[in-house]
Structure 1
Amino acid sequence: MKSSETWTVGETAAKFDLPTHVLRHWEDVGLVLPARDGGGRRRYDQHDVVRIAVIVRNKAAGMTLDQIRVLLDEESPHRHQVLLDHVADLDRRMEEMRRSREMTMHAFECEQHDITRCPSFAGFVADLVA
């Protein structure tokens, strides 16, 4: 059974803790296209809400709006390349986060008050210092 429930721009923005101008901008750039009621007000349906959730999740993961536009465009010939590039970026950032976590845990457990003087800690940034 298909839901015919719709939400206003304010209600929809509140679902995602976004300012309403963000949803209006996403509409301006073609990422969401909500229907309009008789008074010309935006009405977001379940499909729009799912698209917004995809945008929110992918922005949080570092995708640009241009990349998300390609992701949501079922006919884009560049879709797979954009996705592969994003996966490579995620892998790179996850490795940086892993290193940062390891470095943070070392700093937490290290007895040196000035961690930059700890030889083991310096090893975490040796590649950047070189």
Structure 2
Amino acid sequence: MKSSEYTVGELAGRFGLPTNVLRHWEAEGLLTPERTAGGQRRYRKSDVVKVALILQGKELGFGLAEIRRVLTTGDPADRRAALREHHAALTKRIEEAEAARAALGHAIACTSDDFLECAHFRRRLAERIPPG
């Protein structure tokens, strides 16, 4: 084995990952290791970079399909479009989370003995009921 090649165990160990994670990423089309004549995986330095990119993408909330899109497209504009789309989705989730936090904050600070009896809460609840 060349010094610039890594077995699945060596690459997984370098990142503190179980080997089945790398195998899963291969099945998902994120990694394409070379194979020895005996069928063993051999990863190169470029695969080390891909693993780092995959982990970074996961930390940023990307799904494996989105990460695959970024890794497999040859079009830099498509990669940037994927970032924009993810940014927009993340912004929407943050807005929804902030609205949820505000609603919880109101319920916690409510002066009613039971927030279920709070006029503000009851009004918001009524708005959620579809007309019948």
Give the alignment's TM-score, normalised by structure 1. Answer: 0.63
8 Å contact kept, 1:9–1:20: yes
Unpaired runs of 5+ residues, structure 1, are: 99-130
Give the letter aligned to residue 61 of structure 2: G
Matched, 1:87 2:73: no
CA–CA distance in 2 between the matches of 1:34 and 1:97?
A: 40
Aligned-residue offset at 1:18: 1.2
Shift in alpha-carbon separation, 1:62–1:38, aligned structure 2, 3 A: same
Aligned length: 127
The residue type paired with residue 70 of structure 2 is L
Contact 1:9 1:43 in 2 (8 A): yes
Shift of 1:81: 3.1
The 5 Å alignment of 1:40-51 reads 40-51=39-50
- TM-aligned CA deviation for residue 85 of structure 1: 1.3
CA distance in 2, matches of 1:96, 1:49: 36
Q: Deviations over 1:66-115 (max 9, x none)?
A: 000111122368544322111224445677899xxxxxxxxxxxxxxxxx
Question: 1:43 & 1:17 partners in 2: Cα distance?
Answer: 18
1:39 aligns with: 38
Larger Rg: 2
CA RMSD of the aligned region, Å? 3.7
> What letter is aligned with 1:29?
E
Amino acid at match of 1:84: R
- Percent identity, please: 46
Trace 1:42-81 onto structure 2 (pairs within 5 A). 42-75=41-74, 78-81=78-81
Tell me how far apart the structure 2 counterparts of residues 16 and 93 of structure 1 sit (CA, whole Å): 29
What is the one-letter code of the residue matched to 2:83?
Answer: L
Does the aligned pair in 2 maintain the 1:26–1:32 contact within 8 Å? Answer: yes
Give the CA deviation at 1:6.
Answer: 0.8
Would the aligned equivalents of 1:4 and 1:45 in 2 still touch at CA under 8 Å?
no
- 2-structure distance, mates of 1:44, 1:36: 9
Structure 2 unmatched ranges of 5 or more: 99-132
1:13 equivalent in structure 2: 12
Aligned equivalents of 1:96, 1:15: Cα separation in 2: 37
